[in-house]
Amino acid sequence: MIKAVFFDLYETLITEWNGNQKKAVYSTDELGLDPKVFKIEWDSRRELRMNGTFPDHPSVLRDILNSHDLSPDLDLIEKVHQQRVWAKTVPFQEMHPEVIELLATLKEKGMKLGLISNCAPEEVFSWNTSKLADYFDAVVFSYEVKVAKPSSEIYHIACKKLGVTPEEAIFIGDGGANELVGATEAGLKAYHATWFLPEKISSKIIGYPKLKTPSDLLIMELARY
């Protein structure tokens, strides 16, 4: 019997996108590094950003600049940091009503709710003040537990927090970072949340039940509870 439902955060509960454009963007040009070079450096540090090796966003920026023998301007770093915090706050300001309805319905049915998110601190700055936070019984941020999806360990940490076995839990996510594979290997049943995803992206992930709307979960899995 299913006792808990775990959710991914970005592109599952909230989205950064409005059609083909991001809701909020910011620039790192002032740091003095070519944007293409910066992106390569930024992406190469993703794992270390997600698992908490870098304690915060400014430390990542300093490391990137130092690797190119550029002297970090602390004021500019703080400016870029605040812009990123703002950009990551915007998605929390507009909640999908069907997502909120699903969370409320699951709570009414007595389900325990958990969040498992690969993230760095600035990406979830607005979590505690968002409408979402009140629905969740346990929250697992990768940077805090020092392990990220798709490692089985992060799912097991989350299950332990809610006092359930993996077999008693469902994981719902958009599929980034191989999270559905990780959830399945950890023993959870995984569902592919596609309501925020363009068809050309969602169709690339196969082998998992697809939820085109949040309410599909109730129809496909939880109607009997």
Q: What amino acid is encoded at 64 in this protein?
A: I
Confidence of residue 221 (pLDDT cuts 50, 70, 90): confident
Please tell me what DSSP assigns to residue 22.
E
Confidence of residue 222 (pLDDT cuts 50, 70, 90): low
CATH number of 4-16+95-222, picked from 3.40.50.1000, 3.40.50.150, 2.30.30.100, 3.40.50.720: 3.40.50.1000
d(CA 114, CA 198): 26
What are the domain boundaries of the chain?
A: 4-16+95-222, 21-90
**In the predicted model, is pLDDT for residue 225 greater than 70?**
no
Q: Are 126 and 25 in contact (CB under 8 A)?
A: no
Global confidence as pTM: 0.96
Residue-wise pLDDT for 4-26, tens only, equals: 999 999 999 999 999 999 999 99
Identify the pLDDT of residue 220.
Answer: 87
Residue-wise pLDDT for 150-161, tens only, equals: 999 999 999 999
Identify the sign of the CA torsion 30, 32, 33, 36.
Answer: positive
Mean local confidence (pLDDT), 146-172:
98
Confidence of residue 63 (pLDDT cuts 50, 70, 90): very high
In DSSP terms, 138 is beta-bridged to 114
Q: Are 93 and 16 in contact (CB under 8 A)?
A: no
Which H or E element spans position 157? helix 152-162
d(CA 22, CA 38): 19
Confidence of residue 127 (pLDDT cuts 50, 70, 90): very high
**In the predicted model, is pLDDT for residue 223 greater than 70?**
no
**In residues, how long is the chain?**
225
Q: What share of the chain is helix, strand, coil (3-state, %, to 5)?
A: 50, 15, 40
Q: Are 194 and 210 in contact (CB under 8 A)?
A: yes
